[in-house]
Amino acid sequence: MANDASAVFDTLSPAVSNGSLADPFTPPADSSLWRKNFLLGAATASYQIEGAVNEDGRLPSIWDTFSATPGNVLAGDTGAVACDHYHRWEADVEMLASLGLEGYRLSIAWPRVMDAAGLPNRNGLDFYKRLLNRLKEKGITTSVTLYHWDLPQHLEDRGGWLNRDTAYRFADYADLMSRELAGTVDAWATLNEPWCSAYLGYGNGHHAPGLANDRFATQAMHHLLLAHGLAIPVLRANDPASQKGIVANIGRGTPNSDSAADQRAAHLFEVQHNAWILDPLLKGAYPQDLFELWPGTEPLVLDGDMQTISAPLDFLGINYYFRTNVASDGAHGFRDVPLEGVERTQMGWEVYPDGLRDLLTGFKRTYHNLPPIYITENGMASDDKVIDGHVDDTQRISFLKRHLAAVDQAIKAGVDIRGYFLWSLMDNFEWAFGYERRFGVVHIDYSTQKRTVKRSAELVAKFLKERKARV
């Protein structure tokens, strides 16, 4: 196997382990991150790392179909091989453990574990059983997301998230998973980023299944949230000891000027990115401003749906990446006004840690029932290169340090934040951007599948080692 990461934790670059490298990462002594019960881990998702799309009875997903269609993904990349994690999972778990990471957030590929009749696919299930059991043996806290965008294609063929029935199929899938995997999962998240599934998948077509209609987006969102709400009691019944929640991506929108129109535009941006998901979950109603932005797109909601959707949560997962500067579009909405001279990542996203703090403290004011929060994703893409066996990802180190400082500020302002997962453990298939954008703290050479721990991961490992050693 190309990967021999088993001893990373003990073989940090000499400059890191002997202290001669300036440490631009370790949080200040008064940071809440030093609390031993603040979970620090890393995240991945099935389609982005597993590969093996045709093995052991896995069925096609909407991302297999979408990425096979020319023009949808940069360079025609697909997840067919990805990081070959399906075959290299043991070494990957060793790597995770050797870095001292305390938590691992992964997702299950629905088309790998259930056939079109809803029956279990034992080979696929066994893969996750082996993986989760090994993680538990290593003492790693497991956070499992049931749906990180790889919908079985046979369900899309019947309307996908536009079909209410998909929500009930999801509840069946949640039932099977929680019966089979109970005891190995510390936290279940139903969905990852329903905004992306609904808006990018059905609203603007940048993601699978590639449909573009605002009305579709609101209806798909409703069915996604319904799926979540139907799954929560099932998970509670089958696996009472675990935590149950959902993961939302959130966006900071700031006004381009002090004008009332631009202030309103920034408000609408955050309604569309945040309240569209959080209001139904935490208030049991869609924000009416959403339908000012997209007139006439109210979804079909049946009696009882909003109660189902707003069932209490044990945790809310928050994924944060950047802010968007917006102005009024002169009509009902907003338009992006990219700021000049600001720091950006390989994605072109602005580095804006204050946005994370401001959103979290804002949510605490807005939602009286805000559940405990985990930052389930935060990180950045950079064009990382291996030079003399090392990857010096300076910008990422600084990015992580500043975002963790923002988390600390939010905690000190009273937000209950229990942990943080780096996005991502390793470089992977970045959806419509293929393999060009590198989000990992571990570098992947896709021609050899060699894993190289980046400097950022070494510094996180060093911090965790120091924290562990503290009395």
Active site positions, annotated: 193, 377
Site for ligand IFM in 2-61 (CB under 6 A): 45, 48
Nearer to ligand IFM by Cβ, of 45 and 224: the residue is 45
Q: Which of 423, 426, 444, 449 touches ligand IFM by CB under 6 A?
A: 423
Long-range contacts of 25-28 (CB under 8 A, 24+ apart): 25/397, 25/400, 25/401, 25/456, 25/459, 25/460, 25/462, 25/463, 26/459, 26/462, 26/463, 26/466, 27/401, 27/404, 27/405, 27/408, 27/463
Query: Of 414, 407, 423, which Cα lies nearest the Cα of 34?
Result: 407
d(CA 23, CA 40): 18
- Beta-ladder partners of 374: 317, 419
- The structure tokens listed for 262 are 């631009």
Q: Strands, DSSP E only, in 290-437?
A: 315-328, 334-336, 373-378, 417-423
Which string of DSSP letters, residue by residue, matches 321-336?
EEEEEEEE-SSSSEEE
Six token digits for residue 102? 């305390």
Q: How far is the CB of 120 from ligand IFM (least distance, A)?
A: 26
Smallest separation, CB 435 to ligand IFM (Å):
12
Please select the residue that binds ligand IFM; options are 193, 239, 305, 427, rule is CB under 6 A: 193
Residues 217-276, interacting with ligand IFM (CB under 6 A): 249
Residues 14 and 17: their CA atoms lie apart, in Å, by 5
Sequence-separated (6 or more) residues with CB below 8 Å from residue 131: 89, 93, 106
Nearer to ligand IFM, 102 or 430 (CB): 430
Of the candidates 382, 266, 274, 375, the one whose C-alpha atom is nearest the C-alpha of residue 328 is: 266
Q: What residues from 98 to 157 belong to the interface with ligand IFM (CB under 6 A)?
A: none
Q: Is the CB of 98 or the CB of 274 nearer to ligand IFM?
A: 274
**Omega before residue 209 within 30° of 0, cis:** yes
Strands 373-378 and 315-328: parallel
Smallest separation, CB 34 to ligand IFM (Å): 27
Q: Applying CB under 6 A, does 377 fall inside the site for ligand IFM?
A: yes
Cβ-based nearer residue to ligand IFM, 148 or 222: 148
Q: How far is the CB of 428 from ligand IFM (least distance, A)?
A: 7
Q: Does 345 bind ligand IFM (CB under 6 A)?
A: no
Instruction: Answer whether 366's CB lies under 8 Å from 277's CB.
Output: no
Which DSSP state fits 287? -
From the CB of 20, what's the least distance to ligand IFM, in Å? Answer: 34
Least Å from the CB of residue 356 to ligand IFM: 14
CB 82 within 8 A of CB 51: yes
Residues in binding contact with ligand IFM, number by CB under 6 A:
9
Binding to ligand IFM, residues 60-89 (CB under 6 A): none
> Does residue 350 bind ligand IFM (CB under 6 A)?
no
User: Which residues touch 86 (CB under 8 Å, ≥6 apart)?
Assistant: 50, 51, 52, 55, 127
Asked if 190 and 227 count as a contact pair (C-beta separation under 8 A), the reply is: yes
d(CA 242, CA 187): 5
Between residues 84 and 193, which has the closer beta carbon with respect to ligand IFM? 193
Q: Give the nearest distance from C-beta 252 to ligand IFM in angstroms.
A: 15
**Cβ nearer to ligand IFM, comparing 107 with 238:** 107
- Is the Cβ–Cβ distance between 443 and 452 less than 8 Å? yes
Q: How far is the CB of 220 from ligand IFM (least distance, A)?
A: 17
Q: Which is nearer to ligand IFM, 153 or 197 (CB)?
A: 197
Q: Are 451 and 426 in contact (CB under 8 A)?
A: yes
Q: Which of 319, 324, 409, 456 is close enough to bind ligand IFM by CB under 6 A?
A: 319
From the list 430, 438, 452, 462, which residue makes contact with ligand IFM (rule: CB under 6 A)?
430
Instruction: For ligand IFM, give the closer residue by CB, 207 or 462.
Output: 207
**Which residues contact ligand IFM by CB under 6 A?**
45, 48, 193, 249, 319, 377, 423, 430, 439
